[in-house]
């Protein structure tokens, strides 16, 4: 779909304009309504959960008498009270709704029971009164332990091209290494919350803070033992999600629904922050091990790479997440002879889940670690090694290790542009001079690229639906399967409809995502929200526009060319109507003003048996230059300047896209620097709030933060107005910060030693890396 032609009198807020987020004013004023802000029905009960305090063991006894007798308590449920299914695993089994007596607890914080009381405080107090007895079992708490025990939640997957072993034996140079890549808590502002309202005829209305209303509908129905049409899930907005509400919102809706069914009263369940962090999954931590061969210029000749994802106690989405890490283990680089192994390691910790990037960031960090190691070994600027290894159609090096051709070669031009606009080469020399004269403070600089595949790697999820009603006053109600979590999806899809029907965006209202309006929807994830829901909405809007055009032709006896839609006007030959006048005329002539739209992403496929295919419709690209200042005596550092050039194709909304790039970068920077998850020897998460888990604050924003959208780069594929996804890719731009820190540390050894620096690169780890280089230099 080509970009709409911009006219001086385009409708206000139509596609391509940088209009404000539809809820921006409500966000800052506090008027935006989230689950806990809703006016609940009279008599609503408040639910809470009892969590295990053991990582691995059999529940041998559960005394809940004190819970049942606590003030305000109305009901208590255990596994035995579930009327339908117990296992709510989203793809594969392994996620029990609750664990009962005789069952095995598999992580510290697993749900044992739920209590409903007359108020929130009473429910929380009562949940603490349970007496649970366990028979302890050995706990596997690390990826290394899981690998040693051959403990996996799903079988390994392998991708191969050529003969990696043979090519490694013949390589000019060879390096081996490993890297620990830390996980990350989603830390959404609005915690997990659901409000379930029982309806007549056994129906259940579920208000849920979820990225996946259809999956929530399915699981609530299955837990209650009813058909899907008995359950409606409504999601107006989330206060952040970042993947943490794709599957992990389901459990709380299911529990609230059971209590609502039993009591006949509405039930709200909202987790406190510490329990939210204990009981819900995070970004997967990974272990990377590699053996790489390369020539004098740093060009990779062969790679044997092992990626092991720490999945926690169940499969959840780990199959697809580790797959995506493998798909992105090339990042932007051609790998001629390569073997990539992806292991899904089981540990007795909470089941890890989706997080912005969905495994892609971990794969990218692994290969960028390798690129930096090659550069240090050869004494080359890492940027030159990166450019040497880029995909190149001219050199016949433009097919990924899984067989997908790079059809739109964006990065060479984008990187050259950023190298110039950021003054990379001059700054590189200035930094070398600075470091040569400063024994304590060292500066680092890095430019890293991003090539991120866009589509769900599970093929059937690449579909979307939309519903549009045009009312007789010309106002429009829009509904689609995508959910709004602050990323601006509702705004962008409304802009698409505004563009097609040529009306101001003020005339369009996007209503709550509801399973009774648009059914069988996919989760809002994989950076595909605008791509698929925008196209579905466009299809619906085009149906209505075609009906209106056909009506005009018949009613006024004119040709289609005589019917013109212009901003808030419809011109038929020499007659000019306001949009409202024209749709009212059509209504009185019995023309349908409502339409559905549907879209499915073309071209994508992947064969797991051969590990080849085209899993992605296209790639989104970008690059970032980061400069840091490191105190080598304390390990403290700060990011002083960031320059970004990112390709969003023909932007649907430049203002929102730039905001996504800035926010994604800062979130990625937190993942790689300050956000450290820690468990004690008993498998208990110890970082359960902002006092111990450090997300970036506004003061961590680089004082110089330059963001540019790559101009004149429409998507080669027929996406919505030739735009490109922007939700996840910017997070990986922050790899440049981690690489810049290592650049600064490596200056202690004249840039010839690759410092060991696992992520997150906390000041403690940076200090240890500095001390290791000082010791090696003595």
Catalytic residues: 728
3-state secondary structure 309-344: EEEECCCCCHHHHHHHHHHCCCCCECCCEEEEEEEE
Q: Give the SS3 label for residue 240.
A: coil
Do residues 87 and 93 touch, judged by C-beta distance below 8 A? yes
Count, residues in the chain: 778
Q: Which runs of E-coded beta strand occur in 497-578?
A: 508-510, 513-514, 563-566, 569-572, 575-578
Residues 229-261: b if buried by 16+ CB within 10 A, e if exposed: ebbbbbbbbbbbbbbbbbbbbbbbbbbbbbbbb
Alpha helices, DSSP H, located in 379-423: 382-389, 411-421
Q: What are the C-alpha distances in Å from 748 to residues 376, 443, 724, 767?
A: 12, 11, 41, 12
CA 281 – CA 186 distance, rounded (Å): 9
Q: Do the beta carbons of residue 194 and residue 251 sit within 8 Å?
A: no
Residue 429 contacts by C-beta under 8 Å, 6 or more apart in sequence?
none
Among 635, 672, 633, which Cα is nearest to 765's? 635
| Cβ-contact 243, 355 below 8 angstroms | yes
| DSSP β-bridge partners for residue 685 | 679
Q: ∠ CA 181-359-422 to the nearest 5 degrees?
A: 75
Q: Which two tokens stand for residue 289?
A: 């091990």
**DSSP-based three-state secondary structure for 476:** strand
Q: Give the CA radius of gyration of the chain.
A: 27
Which H/E stretch holds residue 658?
Answer: helix 654-673
638 token code pair: 């700060």
CB atoms near residue 92 (< 10 Å): 15
d(CA 659, CA 664): 8
Judge whether 621 and 690 are in contact, CB under 8 Å.
no
Count CB atoms within 10 A of the CB of residue 590. 7
Question: In degrees rounded to 5, what are phi and psi of residue 693?
Answer: -110, 115
| CA separation for the pair 570, 575 (Å, rounded) | 8
CB atoms inside a 10 Å sphere around CB 510: 24
């Amino acid at each position: 779909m080509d970009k709409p032609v911009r006219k001086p009198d385009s409708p206000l807020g139509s596609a391509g304009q940088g209009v404000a987020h539809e809820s921006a004013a409500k966000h800052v004023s506090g008027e935006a309504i989230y689950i806990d802000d809703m006016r609940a029905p009279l008599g609503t009960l408040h639910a809470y959960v009892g969590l295990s305090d053991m990582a691995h063991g059999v529940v041998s006894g559960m005394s809940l008498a004190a819970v049942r007798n606590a003030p305000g308590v109305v009901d208590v449920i255990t596994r035995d009270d579930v009327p339908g299914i117990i296992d709510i695993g989203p793809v594969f089994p392994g996620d029990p709704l609750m664990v009962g007596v005789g069952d095995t607890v598999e992580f510290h914080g697993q749900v044992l029971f739920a209590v409903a009381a007359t108020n929130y405080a009473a429910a929380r107090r009562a949940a603490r009164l349970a007496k649970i007895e366990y028979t302890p079992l050995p706990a596997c708490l690390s990826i290394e332990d899981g690998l040693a025990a051959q403990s996996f939640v799903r079988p390994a997957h392998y991708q191969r091209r050529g003969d990696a072993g043979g090519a490694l034996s013949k390589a000019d140079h060879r390096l081996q290494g490993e890297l620990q890549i830390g996980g990350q808590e989603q830390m959404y502002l609005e915690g997990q919350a659901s409000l379930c309202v029982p309806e007549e005829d056994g129906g259940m209305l579920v208000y849920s803070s979820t990225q996946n209303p259809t999956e929530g509908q399915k699981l609530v129905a299955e837990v209650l033992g009813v058909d899907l049409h008995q359950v409606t899930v409504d999601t107006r907005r989330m206060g952040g999600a970042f993947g943490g509400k794709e599957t992990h919102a389901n459990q709380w809706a299911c529990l609230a629904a059971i209590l609502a069914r039993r009591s006949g009263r509405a039930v709200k369940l909202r987790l406190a922050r510490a329990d939210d962090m204990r009981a819900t999954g995070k970004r997967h931590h990974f272990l990377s091990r590699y053996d790489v061969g390369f020539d004098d210029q740093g060009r990779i000749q062969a790679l044997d790479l092992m990626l092991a994802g720490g999945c926690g106690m169940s499969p959840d989405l780990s199959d697809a997440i580790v797959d995506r890490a493998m798909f992105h283990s090339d990042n932007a680089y051609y790998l001629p002879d390569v073997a990539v192994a992806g292991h899904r390691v089981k540990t007795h910790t909470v089941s890890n889940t989706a997080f912005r990037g969905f495994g892609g960031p971990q794969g990218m960090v692994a290969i960028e670690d390798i690129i930096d190691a090659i550069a240090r070994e050869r004494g080359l600027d890492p940027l030159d090694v990166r450019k040497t290894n880029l995909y190149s159609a001219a050199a016949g090096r433009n097919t990924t290790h899984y067989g997908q051709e790079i059809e739109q070669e964006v990065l060479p031009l984008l990187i050259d542009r950023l190298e110039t606009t950021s003054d990379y080469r001059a700054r590189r020399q200035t930094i070398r001079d600075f470091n040569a004269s400063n024994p304590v403070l060292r500066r680092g600089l890095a430019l890293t690229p991003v090539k991120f595949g866009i589509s769900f790697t599970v093929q059937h999820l690449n579909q979307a639906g939309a519903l549009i009603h045009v009312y007789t006053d010309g106002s429009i109600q829009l509904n689609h399967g995508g959910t709004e979590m602050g990323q601006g999806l509702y705004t962008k899809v409304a802009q698409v409809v505004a563009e097609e029907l040529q009306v101001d965006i003020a005339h369009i209202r996007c209503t709550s995502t509801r399973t009774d309006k648009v059914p069988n929807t996919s989760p809002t994830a994989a950076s595909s929200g605008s791509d698929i829901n925008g196209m579905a909405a466009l299809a619906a809007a085009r149906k209505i526009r075609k009906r209106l055009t056909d009506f005009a032709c018949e009613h006024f006896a004119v040709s289609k060319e005589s019917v013109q839609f212009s901003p808030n006007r419809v011109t038929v030959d020499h007659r000019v109507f306001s949009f409202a006048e024209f749709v009212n005329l059509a209504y009185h002539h019995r023309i349908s003003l409502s339409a559905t739209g549907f879209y499915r992403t073309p071209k994508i496929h992947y064969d797991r048996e051969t590990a080849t295919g085209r899993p992605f419709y296209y790639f989104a690209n970008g690059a970032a230059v980061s400069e840091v200042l490191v105190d080598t005596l304390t390990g403290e550092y700060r990011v002083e300047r960031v320059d970004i050039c990112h390709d969003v194709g023909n932007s649907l909304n430049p203002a929102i896209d730039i905001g996504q790039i800035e926010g994604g970068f800062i979130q990625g920077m937190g993942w790689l620097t300050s956000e450290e998850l820690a468990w004690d020897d008993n498998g208990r998460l110890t970082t359960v709030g902002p006092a111990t888990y450090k997300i970036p604050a506004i003061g961590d924003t680089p004082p110089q933060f330059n963001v540019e959208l790559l101009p004149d780069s429409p998507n080669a594929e027929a996406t919505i107005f030739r735009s490109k996804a922007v939700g996840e890719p910017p997070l990986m731009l922050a790899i440049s910060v981690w690489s810049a820190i290592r650049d600064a540390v490596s200056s202690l050894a004249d840039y010839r030693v690759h410092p060991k620096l696992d992520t997150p690169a906390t000041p403690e780890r940076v200090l240890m890396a500095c001390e290791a280089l000082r010791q090696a230099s003595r």
